[in-house]
Structure 1
Amino acid sequence: MVDLWEGLFQALWLILALDAELADIALRSLYVTLSALVIACAIGFPLAALLAVRRFRFRRTVIAVLNALMGLPPVVVGLLVYILLSRSGPLGVLGLLFTPTAMIIAQVVIMVPLIASIAHQSLRDLWQEYHDLLISMNVTQGQKLRTLLWDARRALLTAALAGFGRGIGEVGAIMIVGGNIDNVTRVLTTAIALETGKGEFALALALGFVLIGLTITVNLLIHGLSRTERDGRW
C-alpha cells in the first residue's frame, strides 16, 4: 500500500511538473489518433451516407460486413498492415513501417468500420424523414449526401467520438506497426505497457492519468460543441 501511494504521488508530480518525456508521448498520441480520426471520418461519413441513400446490389452485404468489422481484433489489423508495409510487402518501398504514419494507417483501418456503422444508423433514420422531400425537389445524388451529412452533423460527432475512443486506447496494432520506439513511435498506451513491465509504476500511472484526462477532455469538448450548436439554433 505504501508503494502504491508513493507511485501515485510521483505520478502526480510528473504531471504537475510537465515532465518532458510525458508531454512528448502525450502529444505524439494526440497527433497519431487525431490524424487517423480525420482520415477515418473523411472515409466513413461519405460511405455511411452513400449506404443510406443509394440502393445497389450487395448493399446489405456491405452493411453487414461493416458491422462485423467493428469487432475486428486490432492485432489482426496490425499484422495485415505490417505485411503490407514490410520490405517484402507491396508498399514496402515507401519505408513507412515503424513510423507514426504506419500507426495512423492502422488506426484508420480500425476506426473506419466503427465510424461508418454508427453514422449509417443515424443517416438511415434521417433519410427516411427526408426521402420524399428530396426526391420531390429532384436534387442530385451529391446534394442528397451533403444535405444528410450536414443535418446529421451532431450525430456524426458522436460517431467521431466513438472512433477517437477506439483509437486513443489502442495498443496491439500500433505496437506491431510502430515498434514502440522511444522519441519516434512511443505513445501513451504502448508506453504504459512498457513502463509497467519495467516496474516503473510512477511513470505508468502518470501516463494512465494523462490518457484518461485526454479522453475526458475530448469528450467534453465534443459535447460542448454539440450543446453550443444546439443552443445556437434556437
Structure 2
Amino acid sequence: MAYFQEAFIMAIKNLLSFDPELYGIVFLSLKISTIAVILSALVGIPVGAVIALKEFKGKNVLINMINTLMGIPPVVVGLVVYILLSNQFGIFGDLRLLFTQTAMVMAQTMLATPIIMGLTIVALHGLDPLLRKTAISLGASRYQLVWILIREARYSIGSSIIVAFGRLLAEVGAVMMVGGNIRYQTRVMTTAIALQKGMGEFQEALALGIILLILSLFITTGIDMIRRGKVWL
C-alpha cells in the first residue's frame, strides 16, 4: 500500500512542478483526443440518426456491424492505419503522415466513430414513438424531424461523446503504432506510461497513470456538466 501512496505523492509533485515536458504530453493527449472526438461526433451523430430513423434493407446487419466495430481492438485499428499510411504499400504513403499527430487523430477517429454512431442509434431507438408521430402530424419536414429527435436524445448522445472521449484518452495501442511515441512530437500520456514501464520505472509509470486518471476525472466531469447545462438545451 505504501508503494501506491508514494506513487500518488509523486504524481502530485509532478503536477505541481509544472514540468514543461509533462504538461506538453498532457496537452498533446488532450489535443489529439479532442480533435478525434469532434470529428467522430460530426460523422457519427448524423449518420447514426439516419440509420436509426430510416427503414431500409439490411438495416439490422448494418447495426450489428456497427456494434461489432464499437469493440474493435485498438491495435487492429492501428494496424489498418499503419498499412494505409505506410511508405512501402500504403495507398496514402506519399502523404508521409505515418508517425505524425495526424495519423494519431486518424486512428482515434476510427475508434470513436462507431461508438458515437452506435450509441446514437440506441438513444434514438429509445425515444417514445409518439414523439415522432406528433412531429410528423404537426408538419415537420424530414430534416426538422431529425433535429427534433436528436434534441430529445441530446443527453444520451452527450453521454456517448463522453464515453468515446474517455476511451480515446486512455487508448495506447493504436497511437503507439501510428505515432511512434516520439518525444516532444507524438508522445502522449498512455505511451509515456508504456515507456516508463518498459524502462522498469514502475513507480514513475504508476504516477503518470494517476495523473491520467485525475485528468480523465476532471475532463469527463466538465463535459458532463456542459451536457446537463444550457449548451445542450
Normalising by structure 1, we get a TM-score of 0.91
Residue in 2 aligned with 1:189?
Answer: 190
Residue in 1 aligned with 2:142?
Answer: 141
Task: Answer whether contact 2:74 2:173 (CA < 8 A) is retained.
Answer: yes
Task: Answer whether contact 2:25 2:189 (CA < 8 A) is retained.
Answer: yes
Q: Distance in 2 between matches of 1:2 and 1:121?
A: 44
Q: Distance in 1 between matches of 2:60 and 2:171?
A: 29
Q: Distance in 2 between matches of 1:147 and 1:86?
A: 43
What amino acid is the match of 1:136?
A: S
Residue in 2 aligned with 1:111?
Answer: 112
What amino acid is the match of 1:23?
A: Y
Query: Structure 1 unaligned runs (5+)?
Result: none
Residue in 2 aligned with 1:71?
Answer: 71
Q: What are the superposed Cα offsets for residues 88-109 of structure 1, whole Å, 9 maximum, x if unpaired?
A: 2111111111011101110111
After alignment, is 132-141 or 19-28 more displaced?
132-141
Residue in 2 aligned with 1:90?
Answer: 91
Normalising by structure 2, we get a TM-score of 0.92
Residue in 2 aligned with 1:166?
Answer: 167
What amino acid is the match of 1:10?
A: M
Check 1:109–1:127 CA distance in 2 against 1; reply closer, same or farther (3 A cut). farther
Q: What are the superposed Cα offsets for residues 101-139 of structure 1, whole Å, 9 maximum, x if unpaired?
A: 101110111111111111111112226232212222343
Q: CA deviation at 1:65?
A: 0.5
What is the SS of the residue equivalent to 2:229? Answer: helix
Residue in 1 aligned with 2:44?
Answer: 44
Task: Answer whether contact 1:127 1:148 (CA < 8 A) is retained.
Answer: no
Q: Distance in 1 between matches of 2:63 and 2:182?
A: 37
Residue in 2 aligned with 1:18?
Answer: 18
What amino acid is the match of 2:136?
A: I
What is the SS of the residue equivalent to 2:183? Answer: coil
Task: Answer whether contact 1:22 1:207 (CA < 8 A) is retained.
Answer: no
Residue in 1 aligned with 2:53?
Answer: 53
After alignment, is 136-145 or 87-96 more displaced?
136-145
Q: Distance in 2 between matches of 1:227 and 1:73?
A: 31
Q: Distance in 1 between matches of 2:227 and 2:73?
A: 31
Check 1:8–1:225 CA distance in 2 against 1; reply closer, same or farther (3 A cut). closer
Considering only aligned residues, what root-mean-square deviation do their CA atoms show, in Å?
Answer: 2.1
What amino acid is the match of 1:185?
A: T
Residue in 1 aligned with 2:207?
Answer: 206
Check 1:67–1:163 CA distance in 2 against 1; reply closer, same or farther (3 A cut). same
Q: Distance in 2 between matches of 1:217 and 1:3?
A: 25
What amino acid is the match of 1:149?
A: I
What is the SS of the residue equivalent to 1:126? Answer: coil
Q: CA deviation at 1:53?
A: 1.1
What is the SS of the residue equivalent to 2:198? Answer: helix
After alignment, is 200-209 or 214-223 more displaced?
200-209
Q: Percent identity?
A: 39
- The total of aligned residue pairs comes to 232
Query: Structure 2 unaligned runs (5+)?
Result: none
After alignment, is 26-35 or 190-199 more displaced?
190-199
Q: CA deviation at 1:216?
A: 0.5
Task: Answer whether contact 2:132 2:149 (CA < 8 A) is retained.
Answer: no
Check 1:142–1:22 CA distance in 2 against 1; reply closer, same or farther (3 A cut). same
